[in-house]
């Protein structure tokens, strides 16, 4: 699988559905580069690195995490760059780092609702032996927002929250007017049965309108325009009571 180009300095490895692998971004500065999300496993990171080397791009110095969900974070044990996550994301990573991966412990988490069936299934497809899972915490944490200077290009990590997960972070690259949103736009499958909370979706849309971007990149999607995104969200909001 190859990197897809968004702009001259921004690329991504496409998402795949079988084991719910999200897109993994690459933002290329003149001094440093940044990986967007850590993927769902060391195998996913290896695929990313092969595609990156094919382009002749350097190893990312930083890895920005969009939210705590396994598919975006369980590759953290295999990345080389410093991992940057929101304080809330890191709190959940700390909890997951203590999880046991025995059949018994996995079944119990499904019982308590700590884990959901969709993810449990995908984890079992991604890992022949879930006992090999190693969850790590971040190297750098922040609250609110943090800006990383990659050299002539900046990544602004903005805590946007939204309907999907309260820790969601958007990564905005002002020089290219690109916004990586992770899964922030989606509904919450852990606490709201995969249904939208109207107020959260409305607030999320208003927050998006404030950001001066042209290309919108979802965690499991392909590039879209701001116009399409706002139009879609307005329609979704109008369907909710
Ligand atoms: Zn998610």
Assign residue 202 the CATH number of its domain. 3.60.15.10
34 is written with which tokens?
């940044």
Structurally, how many domains does the chain consist of? Answer: 1
Query: What distance in Å separates the CA atoms of residue 208 and residue 184, rounded to the nearest whole number?
Result: 11
The candidate with the shortest Cα–Cα distance to 163, out of 193, 138, 141, 143, is 193
Ligand 1 centroid–CA 60 distance in Å is 23
Ligand 1 centroid–CA 69 distance in Å is 5
Ligand 1 centroid–CA 56 distance in Å is 30
Angle at CA 9, nearest 5°, toward 144 and 33?
A: 60
Instruction: State which residues form the domain around 54.
Output: 4-239
How confident is the model over 62-78, as pLDDT tens digits? 999 999 999 999 999 99
Please give the pLDDT value at position 241.
80
Element holding 215 (H helix, E strand): strand 215-218
Ligand 1 centroid–CA 210 distance in Å is 23
Ligand 1 centroid–CA 67 distance in Å is 7
22 is written with which tokens?
């999200």
Q: With both helix axes pointing from N to C terminus, report the angle between 103-112 and 117-126 in degrees, rounded to the nearest 10.
A: 160
Sign (positive or negative) of CA dihedral 21, 105, 167, 230: positive
Overall pTM surpassing 0.95 (yes/no): yes
Q: Determine the average pLDDT of the residues in 146-165.
A: 98
């Amino acid at each position: 699988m190859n990197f897809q180009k968004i702009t001259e300095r921004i690329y991504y490895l496409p998402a795949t559905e079988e084991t719910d692998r999200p897109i993994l971004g690459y933002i290329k500065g003149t001094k440093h580069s940044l990986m967007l999300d850590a993927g769902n496993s060391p195998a996913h990171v290896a695929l990313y690195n092969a595609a990156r080397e094919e382009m002749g791009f350097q190893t990312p110095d930083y890895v920005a995490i969009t939210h705590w969900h396994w598919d975006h974070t369980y590759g953290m044990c295999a990345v080389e760059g410093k991992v940057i996550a929101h304080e809330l994301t890191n709190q959940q990573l700390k909890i997951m780092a203590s999880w046991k991966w025995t059949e018994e412990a996995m079944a119990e988490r499904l019982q308590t609702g700590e884990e959901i069936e969709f993810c449990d299934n995908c984890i079992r497809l991604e890992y022949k032996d879930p006992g090999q899972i190693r969850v790590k915490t971040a190297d750098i944490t922040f609250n609110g927002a943090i800006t990383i200077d990659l050299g002539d290009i900046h990544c602004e990590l903005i805590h946007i929250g939204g309907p999907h997960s309260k820790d969601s972070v958007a990564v905005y690259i002002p020089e290219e007017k690109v916004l990586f949103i992770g899964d922030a736009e989606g509904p919450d499958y852990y606490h709201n049965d995969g249904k939208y909370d109207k107020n959260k979706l409305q607030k999320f849309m208003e927050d998006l309108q404030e950001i001066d971007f042209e290309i919108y990149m979802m965690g499991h999607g392909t590039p879209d325009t701001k116009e399409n995104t706002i139009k879609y969200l307005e329609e979704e909001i109008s369907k909710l009571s």
